[in-house]
């Protein structure tokens, strides 16, 4: 199956999931499960959410699928996750060994994408995906992951 049609299928499954799940938490768990199972190069999929009222601001590990990570809390000034949350921009790293911001979770991780999740125009968290393959995230992957983050952001807005 071509990657594009798989991405389109997964995108529509995410849309269905968003309709079917009552809470943002269940949606995040479902998105992690779906991306991890259906996208072959997505070896670790997880959400980090800003912890409310914590100073300095901290990202806390939420729903995820994949190996356990030592990074359950990440300050906003650390790592690719911190950089994406601080800047509010998607970050794609084709080779994590060449990015000094990378916080090593697994020796197998070769590339990473981090997409901020916005609630009412503010960064509320992010969707982080690691791959054991270099340069695993092309333009279509980026669009898919941004779509997933957007759907979760909308569900979070409804619950606030």
CATH number at residue 138: 3.30.450.40
Average pLDDT over residues 4-27: 94
Residues 149 and 118: their CA atoms lie apart, in Å, by: 8
| 139, pLDDT greater than 80 | yes
- Provide the percentage of residues in the chain whose pLDDT is more than 90: 79
pLDDT band at 2 (very low <50, low <70, confident <90, very high): low
Burial of 145 (0-12, 13-18, 19+ CB in 10 A): buried
Q: Which of 71-80, 124-133, 136-145 bottoms out in mean pLDDT, i.e. has the lowest?
A: 71-80
Q: Backbone dihedral region of 8: left (phi > 0), alpha (psi from -120 to 50 degrees) or beta?
A: alpha
pLDDT band at 1 (very low <50, low <70, confident <90, very high): low
Average pLDDT of every residue of the chain: 93
Calculated CA dihedral for residues 136, 57, 77, 133, nearest 10 degrees: -10
Task: Count structural domains, the chain.
Answer: 1
Give the pLDDT confidence score for residue 69 in this predicted structure: 86
Contact by Cβ (8 Å): 47, 67: no
pLDDT band at 35 (very low <50, low <70, confident <90, very high): very high
Can you say how many angstroms the Cα of residue 98 is from the centroid of all Cα atoms in its chain? 21
- What is the domain extent for residue 37? 3-159
Give the pLDDT confidence score for residue 16 in this predicted structure: 97
Contact by Cβ (8 Å): 144, 129: no
Residues 88 and 50: their CA atoms lie apart, in Å, by: 13
Q: Which of 79-83, 101-105, 118-122 bottoms out in mean pLDDT, i.e. has the lowest?
A: 101-105
| 105, pLDDT greater than 90 | no
Residues 19 and 89: their CA atoms lie apart, in Å, by: 26
């Amino acid at each position: 199956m071509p990657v594009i049609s798989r991405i389109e299928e997964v995108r529509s499954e995410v849309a269905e999931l968003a309709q079917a799940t009552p809470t943002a938490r269940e949606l995040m768990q479902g998105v992690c499960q779906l991306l991890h199972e259906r996208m072959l190069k997505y070896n670790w999929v997880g959400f980090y959410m800003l912890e409310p009222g914590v100073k300095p601001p901290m990202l806390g590990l939420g729903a995820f699928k994949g190996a356990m990570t030592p990074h359950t809390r990440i300050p906003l000034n650390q790592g690719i996750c911190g950089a994406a949350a601080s800047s509010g921009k998607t970050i794609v790293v084709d080779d994590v060994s060449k990015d000094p911001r990378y916080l090593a979770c697994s020796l197998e991780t070769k590339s990473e994408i981090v997409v901020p999740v916005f609630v009412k125009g503010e960064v509320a968290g992010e969707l982080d995906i690691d791959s054991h393959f270099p340069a695993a995230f092309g333009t279509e992957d980026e669009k898919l992951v941004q779509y997933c983050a957007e759907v979760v952001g909308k569900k979070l807005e409804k619950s606030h």
